[in-house]
Amino acid sequence: MNVSELARKLRITPNELLDKLPLLGFDIGRRAIKVDNTTANRIMRDWPILSRRLEAMRQAEKKIEEKKEIEARGKVEVVIPAFITVRDFSAALKLPVNRILAELIKNGIFASLNEKIDFETAAIVGADLGFEMKQADADSDASQDQSHKITTILGKENAEALVSRPPVVVVMGHVDHGKTKLLDAIRRTNVIDTEAGGITQHIGAYQVERKDQKITFIDTPGHEAFTAMRSRGARIADIAILVVAADDGVKPQTVEAFRIIEAAKIPFIVAINKIDKPEADINNTKQQLSTQLGITPEDWGGKTVCAPISAKAGTGIEELLDMILLTAEMETDNIRANPEASAVGTIIESRVSKGEGPVATVLIQNGTLRIGDQLVFDNQAYGKVRALKNYRGETIEAAEPATPAKIIGLKVAPSVGDILEVGKGERINLRNLKTGTAKIETAIAAPADDESVKKINLIIKADVLGSAEAIEESLEKINSNEVKANVILKGLGNITEGDILRAEAAGAKILGFSVKAVPLAEKLAREKNVTIKLYRVIYDLINEIKAEMQTLVSPELRRIDLGVMKIKAIFRSTGKEQIVGGVATGGRLEKEALIEVERDGQIIETGKLLSLQAGKQDVASVESGQECGIKYQGSLLKENDLLHFYKEEKIVKKL
């Protein structure tokens, strides 16, 4: 048999085969072209065992090399923040990313390059690699969040190079108060029809023109599941619109959205929507804003603009846009950028498209992004811009400051909130990231098991990162001390056979949001008895898991004392059963009650009531002061014993 033919059957290259065979005891010569059939058949038959033996030899050699490397380097102190991305961690240790990923996997943690790990995890991995890890102070440069990066870059720009840019407006408010309808009225498009359940499922960014000036809008979903995404939106916005329905007033998510706006320290306008409804009460809504949020409208002597609108009828929309432009004019010193600089911006959405591969929506905050630019995330080169599309799906040549654009050409999908820069960076080894599919997964290392806590193990697969994060955050909110939704893995894209095998190993069910299960995965799931549930609306998913968790909550037994009976006579004793007579001395004796026996001031046992009689008739209850007889099962009773009647009520605790 030709060596090349044998190598093809073993799925390796001929050179690799000729290198490996001498190590495994088959010395056919480094320049051999053919191998006899007997030897070839032995090699093919024993190849799985031989491969494992070779791998073990390699691992042993690798450990020896690593030990020598650590000894030569000595203990090196590395300072890192409380949370650090895997990429930054590898850079801090000056080791290849693949080495860090391998060490994390050894410790049961499957993390993407952009995923943050805590200091404790990093310290364990660092110690294994021979480093001495130290946590940075909260105010040190090493612990600065990425959110400061844009501010730092803009601060370094020459003031003369900065020019006005379109304001970025974030729209917030309670679910169903009309945020998407407002944007629909502004954009003259109908986004809401494409959203499951009428709720915006992903962050979107759009641009409109008013009086020859552009305004960029960020539409943040209104459901409580999207708290994290809403706060991201507020951090990259210049102005906020707080939408409140005139017929519904201030709601919990209205308060939550206002707190996010306050924390972001950005100016805001209140849009009082649905004024066309008969039950609308603008003054009552303003009263609630004033008393609950401390917002005093302008016409009440305050500083906050409260614009009455009807997104459905289109009333007040132009006036609202004018107020946005006026607010932007007052904030002009803060709404500036240098369009001539290299582009930098924030990822506001990330997903995997079947036809386009990994794609991301970026909001450019400084500079201009052009086709052909090299994209860098935290000094890691992620590919070149092959194409740019605006929010309408039209191809554009460049994206200027405050412009949202969809990027095509990425090798790996970045994480939502990542800072994009144009420049040169270290090449990413895509072998583990599955080039073209940009599989982003994060496996969460579970803490030490607490046997008293019941768990539902879950694997989450979603179409975009924002949704996966929102689902995980919502599930964390409904966790209790008794039962938890344990997310062992979250990832992007359709459900595959690998997900089924992971679910089987972990005893987990798979939740898919706006994704499908590939046919082979569905077949394997049936064979392995793995549950797959698919959803298009997040609160349907949350409600179903919450209902399942509720069934695992053990009911609490509450004792209800009923009454006391004093024994006056023993009528009959048979084995462990007795018929005794007495009088109810307090409370009420009931037929289905449990009994505690008190003798000489101490409870000696708990027995069972078989029947309750009054006047030789079976009765359901006996009131205080009445004489009665009972049939009792338990240890033998004596005269003057006190029988305490009680019952236990099961109370189901709500999550």
Q: pLDDT at residue 399 above 50?
A: yes
| Lowest mean pLDDT segment, chosen from 220-224, 261-265, 419-423, 529-533 | 220-224
Taking the C-alpha atoms of residue 27 and residue 30, their distance in angstroms, rounded to an integer, is: 8
Is residue 302 domain-shared with residue 201, that is, in the same domain?
Answer: yes
* 362-390 mean pLDDT: 87
What pLDDT does residue 479 have?
Answer: 84
| Residues 571-598: tens digit of each pLDDT | 998 888 999 999 999 889 998 899 999 9
Is residue 179 domain-shared with residue 319, that is, in the same domain?
Answer: yes
Is residue 448 domain-shared with residue 519, that is, in the same domain?
Answer: yes
- Give CA angle at 316 (311, 321), nearest 5°: 95
Is residue 191 domain-shared with residue 327, that is, in the same domain?
Answer: yes
Q: Give which of 109, 112, 110 is closest to 120, Cα–Cα.
A: 109
* 294-300 mean pLDDT: 91
Q: Give which of 300, 278, 230, 276 is closest to 288, Cα–Cα.
A: 300
Three-state SS string over 216-227 comes to EEEECCCCHHHH
The one-character DSSP state at 477 is H
Q: pLDDT at residue 98 above 80?
A: no
Is 192 buried (19+), middle (13-18) or exposed (0-12) by CB count in 10 A? middle
Taking the C-alpha atoms of residue 471 and residue 487, their distance in angstroms, rounded to an integer, is: 10
Is residue 538 domain-shared with residue 573, that is, in the same domain?
Answer: no
Q: Give which of 591, 596, 598 is closest to 631, Cα–Cα.
A: 591
The residue assigned the tokens 């289905």 is 592
The residue range of the domain holding 51 is 3-73
Phi-psi region at 575: left, alpha or beta (left = phi > 0; alpha = psi -120 to 50):
left
The residue assigned the tokens 């006391």 is 564
Is residue 462 domain-shared with residue 602, that is, in the same domain?
Answer: no
What pLDDT does residue 130 have?
Answer: 83
Q: Is 96 or 364 the better-scoring residue by pLDDT? A: 364
Is residue 182 domain-shared with residue 328, that is, in the same domain?
Answer: yes
Query: Hey, what are 343's tokens?
Result: 């582009």
Q: pLDDT at residue 224 above 60?
A: no
Q: pLDDT at residue 377 above 70?
A: yes
Query: Hey, what are 152's tokens?
Result: 């730092």
- Give CA angle at 187 (186, 190), nearest 5°: 110
What pLDDT does residue 447 have?
Answer: 43
| Residues 465-507: tens digit of each pLDDT | 777 877 887 888 788 878 888 888 888 788 988 888 888 877 8
Residue 195: pLDDT band (50, 70, 90) is low
Q: Give which of 96, 174, 232, 199 is closest to 540, Cα–Cα.
A: 199
- CATH number of the domain residue 190 falls in: 3.40.50.300
Is residue 208 domain-shared with residue 297, that is, in the same domain?
Answer: yes
What pLDDT does residue 448 have?
Answer: 41
**Side-chain half-sphere exposure of 627, counting CA atoms within 13 A:** 6
Is residue 180 domain-shared with residue 319, that is, in the same domain?
Answer: yes
Residue 152 in any domain: the answer is no
* 615-638 mean pLDDT: 90
User: Can you give the pTM of this predicted structure?
Assistant: 0.54
Residue 159 in any domain: the answer is no
Mean of pLDDT over the chain: 81
* 433-458 mean pLDDT: 54
Taking the C-alpha atoms of residue 271 and residue 318, their distance in angstroms, rounded to an integer, is: 12
Helix (H, G, I), strand (E, B), or coil: what is residue 302? Answer: coil
Backbone angles phi, psi at 628, to 5 degrees: -160, 170
Domain boundary among 502, 523, 552: 552
Residue 22 in any domain: the answer is yes
The residue assigned the tokens 């004018």 is 322
Residue 327: its H or E element: helix 317-330
Residue 226: pLDDT band (50, 70, 90) is very low
- CATH number of the domain residue 484 falls in: 3.40.50.10050
Taking the C-alpha atoms of residue 229 and residue 220, their distance in angstroms, rounded to an integer, is: 7
| Residues 313-352: tens digit of each pLDDT | 888 999 999 999 999 999 888 899 999 988 988 887 777 7
Residue 478 in any domain: the answer is yes
What pLDDT does residue 429 have?
Answer: 53
What pLDDT does residue 287 have?
Answer: 93
Taking the C-alpha atoms of residue 546 and residue 542, their distance in angstroms, rounded to an integer, is: 6
**Side-chain half-sphere exposure of 24, counting CA atoms within 13 A:** 24
Beta-carbon count within 10 A of 154 CB: 17
What pLDDT does residue 438 have?
Answer: 37
Residue 524 in any domain: the answer is yes
Taking the C-alpha atoms of residue 552 and residue 530, their distance in angstroms, rounded to an integer, is: 19
Number of domains making up the chain: 6
Beta-carbon count within 10 A of 413 CB: 29
Q: pLDDT at residue 209 above 50?
A: yes
Q: pLDDT at residue 77 above 70?
A: yes
Is residue 169 domain-shared with residue 139, that is, in the same domain?
Answer: no
| Residues 105-134: tens digit of each pLDDT | 777 676 666 667 878 788 888 888 888 888
Query: Hey, what are 339's tokens?
Result: 């369009």
Domain boundary among 282, 312, 336: 336
- Give CA angle at 414 (412, 417), nearest 5°: 175
Is residue 326 domain-shared with residue 206, that is, in the same domain?
Answer: yes
Residue 151 in any domain: the answer is no
| Residues 603-614: tens digit of each pLDDT | 898 888 999 999
| Residues 523-576: tens digit of each pLDDT | 999 988 999 999 988 878 988 998 898 888 877 788 899 999 999 999 998 888
Query: Hey, what are 584's tokens?
Result: 């109810």
What pLDDT does residue 197 have?
Answer: 53
Query: Hey, what are 326's tokens?
Result: 């006026």
Residue 157 in any domain: the answer is no
Residue 150 in any domain: the answer is no
Taking the C-alpha atoms of residue 270 and residue 171, their distance in angstroms, rounded to an integer, is: 10
Query: Hey, what are 585's tokens?
Result: 């001395």
The residue assigned the tokens 């949001």 is 513
| Residues 131-152: tens digit of each pLDDT | 888 887 644 443 344 555 666 6
Is residue 283 domain-shared with residue 403, that is, in the same domain?
Answer: no
Domain boundary among 403, 427, 451: 427
Q: pLDDT at residue 437 above 60?
A: no
Residues linked to residue 239 through DSSP beta bridges, in sequence order:
169
| Residues 237-287: tens digit of each pLDDT | 889 999 999 998 998 878 878 887 887 788 999 999 999 999 999 999 999
